[in-house]
Structure 1
Amino acid sequence: MCQVEGGGGRTFELRVPIELEAPLSLPSGERLDALPPLTLRVRHGSGYPSSSPPGFGLRCCWLSDGQLEALAASLDGLAAAAAGELCVSAWAEWLRTEAAGQLELLQEGATLSLPAEGGTGQAGADEATASAGERRAQRWPRSRAEVLARLRQHAAAADAAAWASAVHDCGVCFDEYASLDCTRLHACGHTFCKSCLRGYWSSQLREGHATALLCPHPGCGAVASPPEAKALLSAGEYETYERLLLAASLAEMTDTSWCPRCEYPAQLEPRVEGRAGRVAICGTREREQSVESAEWIRSNAKACPKCGVATEKNGGCNHISCRTCNFEWCWLCGCKYEPGHYKNGPCEQFSQDFFDEIDMTPEDFRANYVVMNHQ
């Protein structure tokens, strides 16, 4: 309630909630389970209540000027019937319980009227002649877009409040949980306990399916949003999720490739006549890199066995960790790396390029160094 003192009287506002027995429809067919409250602005004069009723005004976004004026006339009748007595509380109670019924908004299939596109809020031609004296009852805001925005915002807030105060059955383990222990997916509205949903998404990430963190409900297929994933995944899992999501997005872009030098995304420029490849501008290194033709990539790079991202090896040992999906594999045989792969298998841990890089022979290296990991 807002209140202002002064001027020989008192002015205040009451926001009166409206009780609905059934959802209402918008002209588009959209259903609303809750409506914003009516605003009743009251001014007590010096003669209230003994000699005169208070002045008042009505504001609402979902009723037309004509509907609001009909309610105002009913309030006038209530004030006249209670002459010399307090009437504001009776007004508020009548608006809360009877207003929707008087306007036939409780009938099955009732539809709210909205301002015309580009209009000022008048619902019909008969209201275009409304006199200045009837401005005590007025739709506000006046534009159709603002009215729709307020209706949807209020309905969403009411739905969220109802969900937060309820107890829910998890769609995976079927146990009952308070809302604090649950997550409701925005895309589909299905609810699961946080433990089940976190475990399900973690398993999807381990399989490399970052673009498919899906709703576990059978047949749903709704995709989780990044904020929903971040709220449940660990910091390391979310970093993997972002990396896989970026790789999947870049794979769909025909004008983007991975820079073969720094392995960051680079934008491809149009082909230039006489040049074998296309030039990629690497945003990380802020310099131009030449992205060679597909033949060069096939002969100098290998695809990660898990995610398929092209990988170039320019030194070091043959144990590869994919920067896109973290999959560990052997450069020589392409198999998944397991401890003991080089010690017990046929593959060598170091190829000739490594010894060329450090300017040593394999014999000198083995004589002077003991490798403590990657075996």
Structure 2
Amino acid sequence: MSMDNEKQKDEIIALESIYNKEEFSYHKENDQYECTLKAYVTLPKDYFFTYKDSRRPEDPVESVPISHLPPLSLFLTLPLNYPSESPPKFTLVSSWLSQYVLAKLCKKLDLLWEENKGLEILFTWMAFLKDETLEFLNIETSLGINSAYTFYKMNSEATQNAGNISEFKGDKTEVNKDPKSKNMEPSIDVRKSVIRKTTHEKHPTKKRGKKQRTRKFVDQRAISDRLIGINPVQMLLDYDLKRKQTEFKRNFYMCKICFLDKLGDHCTQFVPCFHVFCKECIFTYLEIRIKEGNVKNISCPEDKCLSEATPGQVKDLVSQELFAKYDATLLSVTLDTMTDIVYCPRPHCQYPVSREPNDRMASCPACQYAFCVYCKMVYHGIEPCKFKSAEKEKLVTEYQNAPDEKKVQLEQRYGRKQLQALVENTMSEHWINTNSRHCPHCNAAIEKSDGCNKMVCWRCNTYFCWLCGTRLRADTPYVHFRSPQSKCYNMLFHGVVPEAGQDDEDDLDFPALYLDYNSDDEEFNNEDFVIEFDL
């Protein structure tokens, strides 16, 4: 075994111990090591990237904070005489740097080899790409992607124009037609012609017949892996989010509920507060809230924290059945807060129906049931809603105590005249119930204006007691008031208000005369009882 082979093997083993499988991998092909190094550039705190369409100088420059950039990928082949004589053959690939900038990095890697010729160089290259790339390219605080963003916008507009080019007057451009689809797509030649047209419009002074300047040679080892049609801004944001999630799963965190240290893969994090809890504790928390139906605004368990759990977060933490209940309850709660949504009243349907604010009718798109939005009965046109007799008292009280706005709503539903008549009738019924009695024979309502408590029905001439409603004998109605066994004993004039100016002594003397008279054998009738006074 040669000395170079030994050194290569030792370097591979050293790199395996330093970097994880995501950063370093290798395999052997034709007795040569094929290696892949991914350099995750270390970004400083508060790093950001900027972008704008360079064709629109009036537009402001947008700034977006970012914590991670896609790695620089270094693909290597170690020659048999490496490191004694030849350097590694490499290709440098990036999705956020241009080919010209990557070429500068390639030259820097060559320079590092010249400075360390004869020594193992892979670790040195890797360390430079990770820790010194930003400083070397003078992008320590921010990264500008104006050119990439402008190219993306131009390509999008060119593609859109190519899609519409067949609509131009007199256009004879052929298009590719998919036999399985009705969609028509322009051919590649058309897209190229539109791009060429855009280029000539941008430089109107150029003559098409003039020779173009020869393009400068660019290092072929530098490859800019920018996908055409992909928004570079969204690409960076998507990668940043994905990388944050990966880093979160690798670290350990203390749950703020059970106070145990757990791997991030077994934890969840609320945004934007970034409070971390283990999945077991949050599952129990979510399960209680969902079963209670309290699914709206599920906040972070941290005291006084206003962050809320997202539906996606809930879906990842609970079972499929529990999430289905959460989703249905959340939809129902959300629809209940919408004033233009009413549910179909049919028990087997219950479909949410949209309606206009001032419409009285709603039509269910699921079962085609047209109903009144107020009483939920079959739509009855301009006729006011009917109400149940049991709801009459409640409706009158609500209408009398309601503010003006609420009264207008009730009048729209039940009709103003119907409500006013209901209030008047209810008040009359209350007065009758308070100031009248019903005949025990014919149930006629009888009002007592004055006189004693012996009453005679105006309809059937039945005698009865005003106080207890007992039916009295027509020939001896007063026995009820003078019998000690009666509950109305001595209460013939109970509750009678004396007339104004009447002598108090007269009120006491005359009733006492007949009340003191008592006979068990003969009947007493005060109509035949005459007392003569000698004045």
CA deviations over 1:321-373 (Å, ceiling 9, x no partner):
xxxxxxxxxxxxxxxxxxxxxxxxxxxxxxxxxxxxxxxxxxxxxxxxxxxxx
Please name the residue that 2:40 is paired with: 17
Shift of 1:213: 1.8
Superimposed CA distance per residue, residues 33-62 of structure 1 (whole angstroms, 9 cap, x where no aligned partner): 333221123345676555543443322123
Distance 2:214 2:303 in 1: 57
Compared with structure 1, are the counterparts of its residues 130 and 143 closer, same or farther at alpha carbon in structure 2 (3 Å cutoff)? Answer: farther
- Does the CA-based 8 Å contact 1:57-1:136 persist in structure 2? yes
**Aligned mates of 1:136, 1:130 — CA distance in 2:** 17
Give the count of matched residue pairs. Answer: 284
C-alpha contact 1:42 1:56 (8 A) present in aligned 2: yes
Equivalent in 145, 151, 163 of residue 114 of structure 1? 145
Equivalent of 1:221 in 303, 306, 318: 306
Q: What's the secondary structure of 1:281's corresponding residue?
A: coil
- Aligned residue for 2:362? 278
Q: 1:246 to 1:71 in 2, by over 3 A?
A: same
Tell me what 1:254 maps to.
340
* Residue 177 (1) aligns with residue 200 (2): no
Q: What does 1:1-375 align with in structure 2 at a 5 Å threshold?
A: 1=25, 5=29, 12-27=35-50, 28-44=62-78, 49=83, 52-83=86-117, 86-106=120-140, 110-116=141-147, 117-119=149-151, 131-141=216-226, 145-171=230-256, 173=257, 175-178=259-262, 179=264, 182-186=267-271, 188-194=273-279, 196-205=281-290, 208-233=293-318, 238-251=323-336, 252=338, 254=340, 257-265=343-351, 267=353, 277-282=361-366, 287-297=367-377
Amino acid at match of 1:13: T
Q: Distance in 2 between matches of 1:10 and 1:236?
A: 51
CA distance 1:10–1:132, change in 2 (3 Å) = farther
Per the TM alignment, residue 82 of structure 1 is displaced from its structure 2 partner at its CA by 3.8
Taking the aligned partners of 1:300 and 1:233, their CA distance within structure 2 comes to: 45
SS at match of 2:368: strand
The structure with the greater share of residues assigned to strand is 1
Distance change in 2, residues 1:53/1:219 (3 Å): same
Give the 4+ runs in structure 1 shifted more than 6 A.
none
**Residues 131 and 207 (structure 1), Cα distance of their counterparts in 2 relative to 1, 3 Å cut:** same
Distance 1:155 1:209, change over 3 A: same
Aligned residues of 2:353 and 2:362 also touching (Cα < 8 A) = no
56 and 146 in structure 1: CA distance in 2 versus 1, 3 angstrom threshold: farther
Backbone CA RMSD of aligned residues: 4.2
Distance 2:44 2:320 in 1: 46
Structure showing greater radius of gyration is 2
SS at match of 2:110: helix
Shift of 1:111: 0.2
Q: 1:130 to 1:218 in 2, by over 3 A?
A: farther
Q: Give me the whole-angstrom Cα distance separating, in 2, the residues matched to 1:74 and 1:234.
A: 53
The AA in structure 1 aligned to 2:365 is I
Change (3 A) 1:90 1:242: closer
Q: 1:186-226: CA deviations, max 9, x gaps?
A: 56432224455345445544654222222233444333223
Give the superposition deviation at 1:76.
1.6
In structure 1, C-alpha distance between the alignment counterparts of 2:108 and 2:114, rounded to whole Å: 10
Q: Distance in 2 between matches of 1:176 and 1:80?
A: 52
2:32 and 2:251 map into 1 onto residues whose CA distance is 44
CA positional deviation for 1:257:
2.8
**CA offsets 1:135-177 (integer angstroms, 9 cap, x no match):** 4324321669544344334433332233223333444x47243
SS of 1:18's partner is coil
For structure 1, the 5+ residue unaligned runs are 122-127, 302-375
Aligned mates of 2:152, 2:35 — CA distance in 1 = 27
Question: Are the aligned partners of 1:260 and 1:291 in contact in 2 as well (CA < 8 Å)?
Answer: no
Provide TM-score, normalisation by structure 2: 0.44
AA at the equivalent of 1:75:
L
TM-aligned CA distance change 1:185 to 1:101, over 3 Å: same
Query: Counterpart amino acid of 1:254?
Result: D
Unaligned runs of 5+ in 2: 1-24, 51-61, 154-212, 378-384, 389-535
Superposed CA offset, 1:4-34 (max 9, x none): 846x977553222333454521124433333
CA contact (8 A) 2:39 2:130 kept: yes
